[in-house]
Chains A and B, each alone.
Chain A
Amino acid sequence: MANVTNVAHAKSPSTRARIQAFGGFLTNMVLPNIGAFIAWGILTALFIPTGWIPNENLAKIVSPAITYLLPLLLAITGGRMVAGQRGAVMGAIGAIGLIVGSEIPMFLGAMIIGPLGGWVIKKFDKMLENKVPAGFEMIVNNFSIGILGFFLMVFSFYFIGPVIESANNFVTSAIRALVDTGFLPLLSLINEPAKVLFLNNVIDQGIYYPLGMQETLNAGKSIYFMVASNPGPGLGLLLAYTLFGNKIARRTAPGAIIIHFFGGIHELYFPYVLMKPVTILAMIAGGMSGITIFRLFDVGLVAGPSPGSIFAYLALTPKGNFIGIILGVAVATAVSFIVTSIILKLSKQPDNEEEFTASVEKAQTMKAEGKQVMQASIHPLHSDKLAKVSFACDAGAGSSALGATTFRKRLQKKAIEGIEVKHFRIEDVPKDTDVIVVHKDLSDRARLAHPDKRVITIENYLDDPNLAQLLNEIEKR
């Protein structure tokens, strides 16, 4: 018995760590690209035919940007995180197959094929390591990506079509079945995941709007216009990210709110769900409570709100229905806000500031070490995790390798284990690195390439006061 519990005990942290690492991976794939989502959102909110200042010419950008640009960016980032620049190229090549092979924007697919492409080329490079005759590296490098990329492109092209089709069929028949039960809040179970997977047009324009129009002919209004287009759940999610998300998410979410809630471009909140897939539960809960309120007050809209902004909602609300509509949106917002907040609180990554503060507070209660902890809180770090240290230089071969090797030796001497010390070209430092060590002459470039990372600058690769301090920090934990 004792053995069993021991094993379970030993296993659980590593599983948790792995899930956290995976969550961090998704986040890092999405976050650098939020700006592109926002640019697209502004463009769309302004210029589509139902937008603020319709402009047929500029609206031409809308579709290519969301079909090609955004998924490609995700795939490139994903590929780069796995295998540097070569991974990025492979990721993009793979993603274009998916994109052309499907008729809807392939976000989730791009987030899978990007890292997969990176992984493929990484494995292949590893296999060939040291086996390529001198002078042929360039040719082998280019043709390996070229040929493997070709296959990946064709594979993803043929693979994705059937997948999307069956997803469409599944969603359509599931919604029909749920409508037949008459208990509409259940629809959120399908709606919310389907929306985030960019099947929103399929479900709204393919299913709900026809149902809604039918009902409007008899009753003058319909709830079907609102079951999937309620902007409340997305607003709640983004509000929660605004208050409790990690640093970058916190800064970008307010902008996304404006475009989502007032502009009606729901796509803006999708990346935040993709970043932490479990928040789909918050979206479902929000959607369900919204529908429940709409039902309770027996309200509906007179036409399909497109785009689904709060203004479109109010403009399409028939007389006497305002209280029910506003309440439905508000309650959906509140519910998804609360659930998202709980999720964000529970799944806080250890590399987060709040967690850091919390751990500092916790430690402060241990009076014995009180002093040290206070000192630590005076100099807050970007990250309190120090598992991966990356030395970087221009070539990623010489001084960075020497620095990393020497640092490893120093760790070994102190019998410190579990720290990964590697060397890279500055631009290829992987995203899950905790600290980047770089020569002071190269620090600007390192900060430019990795604005969110802690960068330690040194002048001496063998014995630098800043390195000694880092060693000290590692030793203390």
Chain B
Amino acid sequence: MLSSYLQGNTTFLERVSSWEESIQAAAQPLLEKGFITAQYIEEMIQNVNTNGPYIVIAPGIAMPHARNEGGVIKTGISFLKLQHPVVYPDHKEVNILFVLAAVDSSEHLELISDLSSLLIDEEIMDKLHHALQEQELIQLIQQVEE
């Protein structure tokens, strides 16, 4: 499920200048496809400003998201990989981002489940760090999907 949701939603960049920009860049595909509004991107950034960088869920990996206050139109997920990490508050370096847009707190759980399988598989994650384009990423994810 995760792999099909990510189709066409991935971005690979050399670097970005700020963590705010990393969220904007990562969320861009969802915005273009009309899954989210620009407001939601603002809310994700605001979420870090208010609650701290807890969206950095593991070293190097961030999962920007926010409460749906109307900014999420359709449940979706997008991906950004940075060649050079960007620094989040509290000096946390991040180079992989999964932007999560969830309509409510249950619809996207299958997505989350696949994402979790992916993130805890060290071997696959190792390869993911070296992936350079969407097709490689999708194939890796397909290996862990149920």
Cβ–Cβ contact A406 & B119, under 8 A: yes
Cβ–Cβ contact B120 & A399, under 8 A: no
Contact of A137 among B53, B104, B112 (CB under 8 A): B104
Cα(A406)–Cα(B144), bound, Å? 13
CB under 8 Å from chain B, chain A span 57-81: none
Residues of chain A at interface, number, CB under 8 A: 30
Cβ–Cβ contact A398 & B51, under 8 A: no
CB under 8 Å from chain A, chain B span 104-133: 104-109, 112-113, 115-117, 119-120
Cα(A397)–Cα(B64), bound, Å? 11
CB under 8 Å from chain B, chain A span 421-471: 423, 425, 439-442, 460-463
Main secondary structure of the interface of A (DSSP, over half): mixed
B66 part of interface (Cβ distance < 8 Å): yes
Cβ–Cβ contact B104 & A401, under 8 A: no
Chain B residue contacts of A137, Cβ below 8 A = 68, 103-104
Contact of A409 among B52, B74, B117 (CB under 8 A): B117
Task: Assess A135 versus B73: contact at CB under 8 Å? Given A401-B105, A402-B115.
Answer: yes
Cβ–Cβ contact A460 & B58, under 8 A: yes
Cα(A175)–Cα(B106), bound, Å? 55
Cβ–Cβ contact B51 & A394, under 8 A: yes
Chain B residue contacts of A130, Cβ below 8 A = 106-107
Contact of A395 among B59, B67, B112, B115 (CB under 8 A): B67
A321 part of interface (Cβ distance < 8 Å): no
Shortest distance between the CB of A409 and any CB in chain B (Å): 6
Task: Assess A441 versus B53: contact at CB under 8 Å? Given A399-B63, A401-B109, A405-B109.
Answer: yes
Cα(A130)–Cα(B107), bound, Å? 7
- Closest B residue, CB atoms, query A393: B54
Chain B residue contacts of A425, Cβ below 8 A = 67, 105
Cβ–Cβ contact A134 & B73, under 8 A: yes
Cβ–Cβ contact A395 & B66, under 8 A: yes
Chain A residue contacts of B113, Cβ below 8 A = 405
Chain B residue contacts of A393, Cβ below 8 A = 54
Cα(A138)–Cα(B59), bound, Å? 36
Shortest distance between the CB of B25 and any CB in chain A (Å): 19
Task: Assess A134 versus B74: contact at CB under 8 Å? Given A396-B105, A397-B108.
Answer: yes
Cα(A393)–Cα(B107), bound, Å? 17
- Closest B residue, CB atoms, query A407: B116
Cβ–Cβ contact A402 & B116, under 8 A: yes
B137 part of interface (Cβ distance < 8 Å): no
Chain A residue contacts of B61, Cβ below 8 A = 462
Shortest distance between the CB of A258 and any CB in chain B (Å): 42
Cα(A409)–Cα(B107), bound, Å? 19
Cβ–Cβ contact B68 & A460, under 8 A: no
Cα(A401)–Cα(B103), bound, Å? 14
CB under 8 Å from chain A, chain B span 69-116: 70, 73-74, 100, 102-109, 112-113, 115-116
Query: Which chain B residues have a beta carbon within 8 Å of chain A's beta carbons?
Result: 47, 50-55, 57-59, 61, 63, 65-68, 70, 73-74, 100, 102-109, 112-113, 115-117, 119-120
7 contacts between A and B (CB under 8 A): A137-B68, A394-B51, A394-B54, A401-B108, A402-B57, A405-B109, A462-B61
